[in-house]
Structure 1
Amino acid sequence: MSASSSRISTAMRRRALAAAAAAVLATALAACGSSGSGGHGAMPGTHHGAMPSATGAAAATATATATATSGMPGMGATAGGDGLSDHADGYRLTSAATTLPAGTPAPYRFTVAGPDGRPVTAFRVDQTKRLHFYAIRSDLTGFQHLHPVMAQDGTWTARPAALAPGSWRMFAAFTPAAGPGAGTAFVLSRPVTVPGAATATPLPAASSTATADGYTVTVKGDLMAGMEHPLTVHLATSKDGRPVTGLQPYLDSYAHLTAFHEGDAAFAHLHPTTAADGGHGGPDLSFHAELPKPGNWRMFLQFRAAGALHTAALTLRVS
């Protein structure tokens, strides 16, 4: 199957899932009514930046267009692939930066060029943001999830926390709101070197549970590469095992789940299907998982509880 056919097939599955989820949610709302309301994790080496979007008339137009075309959080048409290329279907991630300093915060500037070679400035909103930026080291440590600022000329500026020496990869996840790629979600990336003596951290063994900041996360679901599978995440308190039922919305859902593949840092975003409805989410959250290749994947679950953003990491084996 060609890459283009794969993208179309995946997009059709996403739209079908979104339509089904919307129908179920609409039925529930009609029956009982509900209302939704839309940090920094304590885990070492993790970071989330809640930064403002672009300013000016161009940004306002882009945001209006994006909002009008957005669907269920995380359920837009997907460009497929593993995010390990800086280009796809005429879109290209460009940056003059090939190195960043070790041990001190430094900005990372980049643009997304469209098929016409010009910087893209109109983006569709996905989980409340027009672009999601991720930094991950080659040993899958140092995970950072940021929301950079875009200038009117299409230049984005991400401000990651201090990076440890080693090889890093910078990912940009976005959906153009206009042009030939309108409505298709892309993930592109570029490598960055942080000079200095790098010490690799062994990947923790595969496990269905992890703890972070006083919470225990348990993942249920048998995953097979290249196939969609339901995945359930259960959250409980680490102290006494009580189910967590007070999750607060984060990025228009109750949790954000990202995965990176051991060995090449291939990227995957697991799409949430549990609709956010105020500050009483949990203890069980549902995701659609489609991981492109077998092996170990490092999962990063971000969720908001007790007014703070938490990040839990665990390793899952995909057959």
Structure 2
Amino acid sequence: MFASARFTVRRRTLAAVGTAAVLALTLAACGSSSMPGMDHGAASSAASPSASPSMDDMPGMGRMAAGNGLSDTEDGYHLVSPDGSLPSGRQAGYRFKVTGPDGKPVTAFAVDQTKRMHFYAIHSDLTGFQHLHPTMAADGTWTADLAALAPGTWRMFASFTPDAGAGKGQDFVLSRTVTVPGTEDKAPLPAPATTAEVDGYTVTAKGEPMAGMTHPLTVTISKDGKPVTDLQPYLDSYAHLTAFHEGDTAFAHLHPTTKVTGDHGGPDLAFQAMLPTSGNWRLFLQFQTEGTLHTAALTLRVG
């Protein structure tokens, strides 16, 4: 699931790599949402011009993994798992390891957004989004405690940065698919929209991203018609935005550039959005207020 190019961004100017390098949208978080078909980890935890500013130098930005995540192997690193299928309708643990170029399990991972591993699950129809922070055993086996999965095909993404070896300091997104037995009931993708509702909050997105180009995207959060100004930091940011492309479930992920200043975030969150492929993308925005994580989902059309 890949064919991805990767950018590693560490306080330096983004440079074009190859002919179609992709800077991924980055926003990660875990928690729960009242939106149907979602769970968010309550149980576990073409390139922009070279003149573009380094995302790592922007307020609230961390390293950004690049590539579309559609492969289990990159630069000698391999995502392996004994779990080709998982049961339907009940919680299940997904086990996996990351092996390095030497073929041995990787056990040293750098902390990124307060976690050493970010794990995502998405159904092929872009429902059932889960974002977890799994636990690792001494032998390098990670276990992601997934909420109940609907029948069908799911893609499991692991986002990480090795802290030793040939890939030290590089950001990776690798993935594998899993089959959940049963009668699959694919949901149609909701039409593109600029607003979404979740837990009484209204999320509004403004911007017109173009494929393979960095474009500004602003997200505004309100409640009962009033601007929300009490967003709390979550994983070192005021929001996390994860996106998946319709058809192939390609992955993209980003942080807002808005500076974090305590529990006073909002109502506007600014992003520099890079979505590599045209078409419909399903966006999952996660933000926290009063200790509760909310997840809003909307469909964005990218030209």
Q: TM-score, normalised by structure 2?
A: 0.85
Shift of the alpha carbon at 1:213? Answer: 0.6
- Structure 2 unaligned residues grouped into runs of 5+: 15-30, 46-55
Shift of the alpha carbon at 1:74? Answer: 4.8
1:271 corresponds to: 255
Distance 2:269 2:64 in 1: 22
Task: Output aligned runs, 1:85-124, within 5 Å.
Answer: 85-124=71-110
Distance 1:200 1:265 in 2: 14
Q: Secondary structure at the match of 2:217?
A: strand
Q: Is 1:46 equivalent to 2:34 in the alignment?
A: no
Q: Which amino acid aligns with 2:197?
A: T
Shift of the alpha carbon at 1:228? Answer: 1.7
1:268-288 CA distance string (max 9 Å, x none): 002321232211110011222
Q: Secondary structure at the match of 1:16?
A: coil
1:287-315 CA distance string (max 9 Å, x none): 22111111000000011013211000000
Distance 1:13 1:123 in 2: 16
Contact 1:139–1:202 at 8 Å: present in 2 too? yes
Distance 1:13 1:219 in 2: 28
- Structure 1 unaligned residues grouped into runs of 5+: 18-38, 54-69
Pick from 243, 250, 258 the counterpart of residue 227 of structure 2. 243
Change (3 A) 1:123 1:51: farther
Q: Which amino acid aligns with 1:92?
A: H
Pick from 122, 136, 152 the counterpart of residue 166 of structure 1. 152
Pick from 8, 12, 19 the counterpart of residue 11 of structure 1. 8
1:23 corresponds to: none
Distance 1:174 1:211 in 2: 31
1:75 corresponds to: 62
Distance 2:64 2:299 in 1: 27
Distance 2:70 2:182 in 1: 24
1:318 corresponds to: 302
Q: Which amino acid aligns with 2:290?
A: A
Moved >4 Å (runs of 4+): 50-53, 70-74
2:241 corresponds to: 257
Task: Output aligned runs, 1:184-195, within 5 Å.
Answer: 184-195=170-181
Shift of the alpha carbon at 1:11? Answer: 3.2
Q: Which amino acid aligns with 1:146?
A: L
1:3-34 CA distance string (max 9 Å, x none): 89x53xx43596337xxxxxxxxxxxxxxxxx
Which piece of structure 1 moves more, 297-306 or 224-233? 224-233
1:85-128 CA distance string (max 9 Å, x none): 00101100000100000001110000011111111111111111
Task: Output aligned runs, 1:158-307, within 5 Å.
Answer: 158-237=144-223, 239=224, 241-307=225-291
Distance 2:169 2:60 in 1: 13
Q: Secondary structure at the match of 1:312?
A: strand
Change (3 A) 1:100 1:133: same
2:22 corresponds to: none
Q: Which amino acid aligns with 1:224?
A: M
Distance 1:213 1:12 in 2: 34
Which piece of structure 1 moves more, 198-207 or 272-281? 272-281
Taking CA–CA contacts closer than 8 Å with sequence separation of 6 or more, which of the two structures ends up with the larger relative contact order? Answer: 2
Contact 1:110–1:155 at 8 Å: present in 2 too? yes
Contact 1:245–1:283 at 8 Å: present in 2 too? yes
Identity %: 67
Q: Which amino acid aligns with 1:311?
A: T
Q: Secondary structure at the match of 1:278?
A: coil
Shift of the alpha carbon at 1:144? Answer: 0.3
| Aligned residue-pair number | 274
Distance 1:74 1:198 in 2: 38
2:138 corresponds to: 152
Distance 1:315 1:154 in 2: 36
Higher helix share: 1
1:28 corresponds to: none
Change (3 A) 1:273 1:131: same
Distance 1:51 1:272 in 2: 26
Distance 1:259 1:102 in 2: 24
Q: TM-score, normalised by structure 1?
A: 0.81
